[in-house]
Amino acid sequence: MTQIHINQNTCIRCKKCVRICPSVLFSFHEDKGIEVNADACISCGHCVAVCPGNSIEHSDFPPEKVHTFDRSQLPTADQVELLIRSRRSNRAFSKQRVPEELLQRIIEAAHRAPTATNAQEVKMVLVTRPETLKEISRITIGTFMSIVHAVENPLLKMILKPLMPSSYRYIPVFKQLQEEFDKGNDGILRGAAAALFFYTGSKERFGCQDCNLAYQNASLMAEACGVSQFYTGFVCSAAGMNRKKELQKLLGIEGYTIHAGIALGMPSFLFDKYIDKKDVVLKRID
């Protein structure tokens, strides 16, 4: 059970903990100072991180888990903006393996992403074995081709195509992916040296959102490390549609739901320009 203690001797009554706690555990009383009821604590650590006098003792955050940093060392807004603008889905991988230290930095960045109610239920599986990467692509294409064969049934096509015209646009894409894969060209993972998948229990209410937040952290860290990457949308879609759950079985995560994934590899080349997107669509309510 989580325990929180306030050191009243060092507390300066700034009331930052009262204002920042998402579970409203802290209260201020003129005669008693800061009081806390830890029963509903979600262990987000906001109180410990914000306390200027280190007056909050939290059972989940002993001193070795609390780190002071210099805010002047953070990247500037211009630097962050340039990183975001320059980030691209680069599928031109070299044959070089991604150094282990870079993979670990990417995983740690993903792990640092926020989660709903601080549940921290996001799990990850890292694949670097070439045979497994190839099998992921094979299962993904096979899943889509089984659907292609079903919807191309003349009777079904007559009924479904008027209702789902956008879905039928992908049929030539899936057929080409199969043809190229048979020739030894992987159009799913594109020769990536590694793939990192994010998953949660199937009943996690915010599993999809949390996993995609983790992916975004991983993507930006990869860009900062000079590691090329792209979102594995086809793999994630196939994981959800495959009735036999072959991808989950392959990855040893039966019973879980894959919500996001990132293919990783060292680049054959890098971009030295960024391109503007379409004008932002923004509705303001002031």
Q: Which of 29, 41, 33 is nearest to 3 (CA)?
A: 41
Q: Mean pLDDT for the chain?
A: 94
Maximum C-alpha span of the chain: 80
- What percentage of the chain carries pLDDT values higher than 70? 94
Instruction: Say if residue 20 is exposed, middle or buried (CB neighbours under 10 Å; 0-12, 13-18, 19+).
Output: middle
pLDDT for 153 beyond 80: no
Euclidean distance between CA atoms 83 and 104, whole angstroms? 20
pLDDT for 207 beyond 90: yes
Residues ≥6 apart with Cβ < 8 Å to 74:
none
At residue 76, the pLDDT reads: 97
Q: Write the DSSP assignment of 135-191 as a string of letters.
A: HHHHHHHHHHHHHHHHHTSHHHHHHHHHH-HHHHTTHHHHHHHHHHHHTT--TTTTT
218 or 149, which is more confident? 218
Residues paired with 200 in a beta bridge:
257
Tokens of 112: 């640092």
pLDDT for 24 beyond 80: yes
Helix (H, G, I), strand (E, B) or coil at 224: helix
At residue 151, the pLDDT reads: 75
Domains along the chain with CATH numbers: 4-65 (3.30.70.20), 72-286 (3.40.109.10)
For the entire predicted model, the pTM comes to 0.92
Residues ≥6 apart with Cβ < 8 Å to 110:
122, 124, 196, 198, 214, 215, 217, 218, 221
At residue 1, the pLDDT reads: 87
At residue 232, the pLDDT reads: 98
pLDDT for 152 beyond 90: no
Find out whether 188 and 194 touch, Cβ atoms under 8 Å. no
